[in-house]
């Protein structure tokens, strides 16, 4: 989605040539593949944990950090894999998103009219909101306090953000198609 926003703002006249169906399919497959790979690397350490008693996790979803206090086995390998996964996927994707937003912000600031800047910003605002919701709630999942706020962030991270992301994206696409058709 970040690349789509980059193409829409920085290369609007070439958008249909840059964002073609082959690229969309490739980006979707890459996204799904990296998602499954990240899940796989986080499931392996969880399968090797030993639990000493009958405990329940205080979160909605069973994330790896919420299993650490319940385990009586050595956590170093699991923690190392989790940190590596966070660095690779969390920082890697946030770097790519930031890398795509830098030229977008530069292009928006270069637009001379206020209405043009406003329209360009509204194109990116929904994606930026989703990115903030996702990364903001992901950082709260690192806590294992079991509080109600942690439960809310867990639901937001695992259900709300993935549900709202395609909705915002498809609404932007429909709105853009209606604007191109005219009255």
pLDDT digits (tens, 9 = 90+) for 155-170: 777 777 777 767 766 6
Query: pLDDT above 90 covers what percent of the chain?
Result: 0
| pLDDT tens readout for residues 18-58 | 888 888 888 888 888 888 888 887 788 888 888 877 666 66
CA 57 to chain CA centroid, Å, is: 24
Is pLDDT above 70 for 14?
yes
pTM, entire model: 0.62
How high is the pLDDT of residue 81? 83
Q: Which two tokens stand for residue 88?
A: 């690779």
Q: What separation, in Å, do the N-terminal and C-terminal C-alpha atoms of the chain show?
A: 28
Range of the domain at 124: 2-181
**pLDDT band, residue 136 (cuts 50/70/90):** confident
Task: Report helix angle 2-10 to 114-140, nearest 10.
Answer: 170
User: What tokens does 47 get?
Assistant: 């399968």
Question: What is residue 145's predicted lDDT score, i.e. its pLDDT?
Answer: 59
What pLDDT was estimated at residue 70? 78
How many CB atoms are closer than 10 A to CB 97?
20
**Are 72 and 52 within 8 A, CB to CB?**
yes
Token digits for 67? 């299993």
Domain count for the chain, please give it.
1
């Amino acid at each position: 989605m970040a690349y789509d926003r980059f193409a829409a703002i920085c290369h609007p006249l070439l958008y249909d040539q840059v964002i073609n169906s082959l690229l969309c399919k490739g980006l979707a497959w890459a996204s799904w593949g990296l998602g499954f790979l990240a899940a796989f690397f986080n499931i392996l350490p969880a399968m090797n944990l030993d639990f000493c008693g009958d405990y329940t996790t205080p979160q909605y979803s069973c994330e790896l950090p919420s299993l650490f206090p319940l385990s009586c086995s050595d956590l170093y390998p699991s923690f190392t894999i989790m940190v590596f996964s966070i660095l690779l996927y969390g920082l890697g994707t946030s770097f790519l998103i930031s890398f795509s937003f830098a030229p977008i912000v530069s292009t928006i600031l270069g637009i001379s009219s206020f209405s043009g800047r406003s329209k360009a910003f509204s194109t990116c605002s929904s994606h930026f909101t989703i990115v903030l919701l996702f990364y903001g709630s992901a950082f709260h999942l690192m806590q294992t306090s079991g509080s109600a706020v942690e439960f809310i962030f867990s639901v937001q991270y695992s259900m709300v953000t993935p549900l709202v992301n395609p909705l915002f994206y498809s609404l932007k696409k429909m709105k853009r198609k209606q604007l191109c058709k005219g009255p």
